Structure 1
């Protein structure tokens, strides 16, 4: 009896194994390619992209496309890895190829990723949102859907929704350790700097041999005025990956904030020598140095002249700095033209566009600057206050912009006689980074131009 039962159990186990094997054999591959070699390169690219090693991921995805020119998912991720504007010839070519491709034989995920990217590229925010929501309903726990939803919620500053989505992403895809990085930036956006540090440290604990956790901590440390700690983290990131462009850029920013122009140029030279930055990023760093060098000396004429040199390309310059420089040096018509251009860019963005909120803040700030210099502080305060509500501390650049906006908001309020409110606004800004605010006190004080 026992022998018959044993034979029966063995037979059942064999049947289960056969059924499982057949099921696995019939399962649709996750990524659509006919080349095992291309798939191997592609997977290496995904791993590198998750570590934010863009040069490495770009090479892997490009190799995958070379091995299988019909590998559409590889083309999509190659686009994601390219640190270039969408108008770049290589990016434009990839977009055109994806637009012309037949997506019928792809997996649902691949179709979603490509259609969503194409809609975003076409600046059709409504269509992009429809594509995202439809796929999320169909596959609510797909990591790529959760990531896209979280990114969208973050852009709208729907912080609770973004946090819920990222927490769920970690639950369904524990290997996505970069989600802790996203949670850190999410906390930064809300000014929850201790929570941001906790998330970044968790990320560093899980992936101590990766550069990005150190870079994120360094970025947080710069924003909050802990400059020595920032330098340690950024140096460690570059020790791990000398070509990690983000850390080179942050070292440039750190040196500029401290007024150490020679160190900024050294960081730029290191980045150029390592070859990890695309050309446009190198130029952005050069522009930043060209602007901050005279700005730190209170030389607004020098800031304005940078527009004709290292910052001649509109995409590389800082419109806020240039508007302030134009206003401080009597180039009022040029300031008006820059403000009008920013307004035109805003008008082209549909209401649902993820980037609209930040551009609204920028335009409001520029309009406030115009009012303040014209001697209308009440109107200036209104525009600066609107900008402040639309801004966040989520990354270093936007975070510093928010601090600058709060500083000039305090100036405008003080000029209207609302000195208590001005003091409160300034105290809030100093609580984030007193060193930066104190420097602004000298550099942006009325009559500081020369």
Structure 2
């Protein structure tokens, strides 16, 4: 598993942190990092030895994907030392409670003058990106890396963020640099394996996974990640084996329980998938996680073409999310319902409900709001175009283009725009013009399907063959995969002319 929160930032491990004590003006520097001027790794400032210990333990937990335990540790560190800026920052970044996120982010920002320059850059990075200010956030990230070019965990952190932005190539370079510093650095081994898998270089991915398992033989996440990558490669039995290995090591490692459900769903065993999802829901560590897992369970009904019960399940999620003050989950439930509706009018109504949830919800980060808004607008463009509502199509596309122009460094939003623009051009049979847009969203099954058609219409047969193979080989437990990939696999393969 790799952590997916907003932009998939993952913190560096504790064992390499330089921790500054503030008991007095002449306070000694922790032996973790050497002197203030010569430290090669990002320092962490705290006045409490106990807070430092809690923070470091949380870092190790987080790096090993014990996520709730890590957040609990950061909360405890911040309680022990209320001026512990990075503890507040990481609670903000990793909590699933939107109100806690906002409060802790503001606390971290309020402590900027009490920490070192590197820590300030870290907080600026986290806060700016979470607030939807990608350009200053990226600038802070780059400055931080320039300040500590030999910090393997910052290299990992930057690479992990780049993965979240679909920047697989630069992310790979970051992980390679981290591994040149420590060839057995677990976090980098994990993430570089995911980069290889995304590029369909599964042999390299599994080699990295073998090393990852060997480095952390008593931790569940190496097996969890191995299971996910095997599933991506279509080896479902192997995936189930590794998920069970992870749960044998830690029966409460809920990611692997969820992984069992996802794998059975992709195998077509929806009844068993629901059994596994129920266990994940029962063990969810937060209301937001519980709703996420419940939506995964709802997808099993969609895979069975039981649309009426799928509607009931997603509606229940939306209602509970509204009650729990979780506007992102409420919007996601409505937007996902819109994606599979057979009638454009019903789809557009759900998209309007999703947009209303985002507009009225206060407990949501600006980055989450903007990204989900882009997804809503994308599907509004497509549905309006399909319904023949040219005015709504143009208005929604213009709104989406505006959002994309304001977020030029946000790959999620850029993908939404290009997917919508490409779909509109395809509807107009402007295939050559659609291709460059659709290629910017090449991992999405909807866009891959259209891209295959566009290549066919423009006699780009080799490219059509490649994208068809990629589409048919997509094994991710998403709604888009459920709607597109099984049907694509059931069609007779198109022969090259």
Aligned length: 404
Q: 1:440 — aligned with what?
A: 487
Shift of 1:126: 1.6
Task: After TM superposition, list the pairs within 5 Å mapping 1:132-151 onto structure 2.
Answer: 132-151=141-160
Q: 2:99 aligns with which of 81, 86, 89?
A: 89
Q: 2:67 — aligned with what?
A: 54
C-alpha distance in structure 2 between counterparts of 1:369 and 1:299, whole Å? 27
Shift of 1:202: 1.3
Structure 2 SS opposite 1:322: helix
- Flag the 1:383–1:243 CA change in 2: closer, same or farther, 3 A: farther
Q: 2:346 aligns with which of 331, 334, 351?
A: 331
CA deviations on 1:33-84 (whole Å, 9 max, x unpaired) are 22111111111111111101012112222221221111112222333442x1
Shift of 1:180: 0.5
Shift of 1:250: 2.0
1:301–1:329 CA contact under 8 A, matched in 2? no
Q: 1:66 — aligned with what?
A: 79
- Flag the 1:345–1:135 CA change in 2: closer, same or farther, 3 A: same
What's the TM-score once normalised by structure 1's chain length?
A: 0.76
* Residue ranges of structure 2 left out of the alignment (5+ in a row): 1-27, 322-326, 355-374, 379-396, 493-497
- Flag the 1:223–1:347 CA change in 2: closer, same or farther, 3 A: farther
Shift of 1:228: 0.6
Shift of 1:158: 4.3
Q: 2:413 — aligned with what?
A: 359
C-alpha distance in structure 2 between counterparts of 1:289 and 1:348, whole Å? 32
C-alpha distance in structure 2 between counterparts of 1:128 and 1:262, whole Å? 44
- Flag the 1:318–1:213 CA change in 2: closer, same or farther, 3 A: farther
2:339–2:347 CA contact under 8 A, matched in 1? no
Task: After TM superposition, list the pairs within 5 Å mapping 1:235-250 onto structure 2.
Answer: 235-250=244-259
Shift of 1:133: 2.0
Q: 2:337 — aligned with what?
A: 322
1:132–1:148 CA contact under 8 A, matched in 2? no
Structure 2 SS opposite 1:32: strand
- The farther-off stretch of 168-177 and 193-202 is 168-177
* Residue ranges of structure 1 left out of the alignment (5+ in a row): 1-21, 393-401, 446-450
Which of 1 and 2 has greater Rg? 1
1:362–1:387 CA contact under 8 A, matched in 2? no
Shift of 1:177: 1.4
- The farther-off stretch of 72-81 and 249-258 is 72-81
1:181–1:200 CA contact under 8 A, matched in 2? yes
Structure 1 SS opposite 2:143: helix
- Flag the 1:390–1:340 CA change in 2: closer, same or farther, 3 A: closer
2:261 paired with 1:252: yes
Q: 2:315 aligns with which of 308, 312, 318?
A: 308
Q: 2:469 — aligned with what?
A: 427
What's the TM-score once normalised by structure 2's chain length?
A: 0.69
Q: 1:127 aligns with which of 136, 144, 148?
A: 136
1:212–1:237 CA contact under 8 A, matched in 2? yes
Q: 1:406 — aligned with what?
A: 448
Structure 2 SS opposite 1:277: coil
1:272–1:282 CA contact under 8 A, matched in 2? yes
Q: 2:387 — aligned with what?
A: none
Q: 1:348 — aligned with what?
A: 403
Shift of 1:193: 1.9
Two-structure CA RMSD over aligned residues (Å): 3.8
C-alpha distance in structure 2 between counterparts of 1:432 and 1:24, whole Å? 48
